[in-house]
Chains A and B, each alone.
Chain A
Amino acid sequence: MACTIVNPSGSDVKDKKGETMSGRVIVITSGKGGVGKTTTNANIGTALARAGKKVVMIDTDLGLRNLDLLLGLENRIVYTIVDVVEERCKLKQALVKDKKNPNLCLLAAAQTRDKTAVTEEQLKNICEELKKDFDFILVDCPAGIEQGFQNAVAGASEAIVVTTPEMSAVRDADRIIGLLEAREEIKSYKLLLNRVRPNLIKSNDMMSVDDVVEILSAQLIGIIPEDTGIITSTNKGEPIVNDEKSLAGQAYNNVAKRIMGEDVPFLNLEEDNSVVAKVKRFFSHLIGKEQ
């Protein structure tokens, strides 16, 4: 399945010192909470930065910020997005550089304010400003479909809808997709299926990737397996893409590649390990055709 996010301004991006850098603003949203928006944001952002892109992540979850924790930057935050819009500091001053990767920045949310502290218009302006200096602006959207969501989506032209193969998450994703389709400025949206558990799918206890894709009739940009490594990586404040052995890390890296326009096949999580399947794979290998 080929999967690329169309880059409407692709040709405009000029690397370093280029006069007209015009970054892509991608909002990462889900509707339901706890499906892995922030984890996805941290990992895709880190993966893109590792690939040499200039990336800034905006946490728009005012009052419930967490992106700083996942990146291990919680102690470095001086100014937040609210300080920027209330003009207590310049936008550049509020950007927190990542510990490892100088290409990666975070614009943190204020922890002491609520969703009304920033307006759609202000967020749009911030995104426009950041587009000049960065290749990618990833907007971490709060759960829900209220003002916080509307704000986060305001400046974006692309969206990644995160969901898990659970009924409630899929239902909420469907709502979000409906809302995204109604917004003209969102040119494309892609589905990221998180916390996939191949064993449960195999035993027919969980909806498969195909089921979810069919039900939501959306294009897929990534399949992330459930991985206990996510817990440890969150605890350490280090995104799992830094761990090359981790399956979830690889999957997130692949998502980043697809965002950059590469055609990367999806990890085969539902690999059938029966003898028949192994023999079949062996022969299809011989003919040199992918099954």
Chain B
Amino acid sequence: MKDIFTDLYNKVLGFFRQTDKKEDNAKDIACNRLRVVLMQDRTNLTPELMEKMRQELIDLLSKYVEMDKEALELNFEQEGNQMALMLSIPVLRAKDEAEIERELAKEQAEKESREAENSGEKSEESEDAVQDNGVIEIVEETPTGEIVSTEETVTECIEIVEPENEKEKVE
């Protein structure tokens, strides 16, 4: 009889605990840490490369938004069988069109001067193509698809799924 009550008590307590903080126990922490570590082990992406990727993303995105560069987070996470690259960007302010155009023009100018230094002549068209591909270029360096943002209000959300992963899903 006493068994039944203690059991009930534990069940009720357990229910509230579960809804309260789901991932606070040692087991879940271990699982999550392991998943992240194994992903790094398996992909051979060193912390230095991750940092480089982070830096490049900051450079790219700061053309369009003003953000808290220190707080930008880039992590691997596992969602089911899918490996995801989670990018969380605390946005301070979205830049207006004029600012963005100025940034792009500045970059364009830098690029042109660099190219001129390098080989002298190149058609403008190909330069434009490089420019347009900017976003994809960087994402392609990452081993796996999705860049999803999780933070609430002041967060920019980008979702890019690599074609390869999409195929997997379809299959």
Contacts and interface: CB of A to CB of B under 8 A. Distances in A.
B117 interface: no
A216 B31 CA distance: 11
Contacts, number: 43
Contact of B31 (A174, A175, A201, A207): A207
A78 interface: no
B35 interface: yes
Contact of A275 (B7, B38, B42): B7
B41 A174 contact: yes
B18 to A, nearest CB: 10
Interface string A185-203: 0000000000000000100
Contacts of B28: 204
Contacts of B71: none
B42 A204 contact: no
B27 A211 contact: yes
A82 B46 CA distance: 40
B41 A175 contact: yes
The contact size tier of chain B is 10 to 19
A274 B11 CA distance: 10
Contact of A205 (B27, B33, B37): B27
Interface string A116-160: 000000000000000000000000000000000000000000000
Contact of A204 (B3, B26, B38): B26
A174 B26 CA distance: 20
Contacts of B4: 275
Interface string A162-179: 000001001100110010
Contacts of A206: 26-27, 30
B34 A170 contact: yes
B25 interface: yes
Interface in B1-52: 3-4, 7, 11, 25-28, 30-31, 33-35, 37-38, 41-42
B27 to A, nearest CB: 5
A211 B78 CA distance: 13
A204 B26 CA distance: 7
Given A274-B7, A275-B3, A167 B34 contact: yes
Interface in A188-243: 201, 204-208, 211, 215
Q: Tell me which of B4, B7, B30 has the highest count of chain A C-beta atoms within 10 A of its own C-beta.
A: B30
Give the interface size class of chain A.
10 to 19
B3 A215 contact: no
Contact of A171 (B11, B25, B34): B34
A206 B30 CA distance: 8
A50 B112 CA distance: 79
Given A174-B38, A175-B41, A204-B25, A167 B30 contact: yes
Contacts of A175: 41
A171 B41 contact: yes
Contact of A167 (B7, B11, B33, B41): B33
Nearest to B81: A217
A276 B14 CA distance: 15
A174 B43 CA distance: 13
Nearest to B31: A211
A276 B7 CA distance: 9
A167 B11 CA distance: 29
Interface in A29-86: none
A281 to B, nearest CB: 15
A171 B7 contact: no
Nearest to B17: A204
A178 to B, nearest CB: 7
Contact of B27 (A171, A174, A201, A274): A201
Q: Closest 4 CB pairs between A and B?
A: A204-B25, A204-B27, A205-B26, A274-B7
Given A171-B41, A276-B7, 15 more contacts: A167-B34, A171-B34, A174-B41, A174-B42, A204-B25, A204-B26, A204-B27, A206-B30, A207-B30, A215-B34, A215-B35, A215-B38, A274-B11, A275-B4, A276-B11
9 contacts: A167-B30, A171-B38, A171-B41, A207-B34, A211-B31, A215-B34, A274-B7, A274-B11, A275-B4
Interface of B: 3-4, 7, 11, 25-28, 30-31, 33-35, 37-38, 41-42
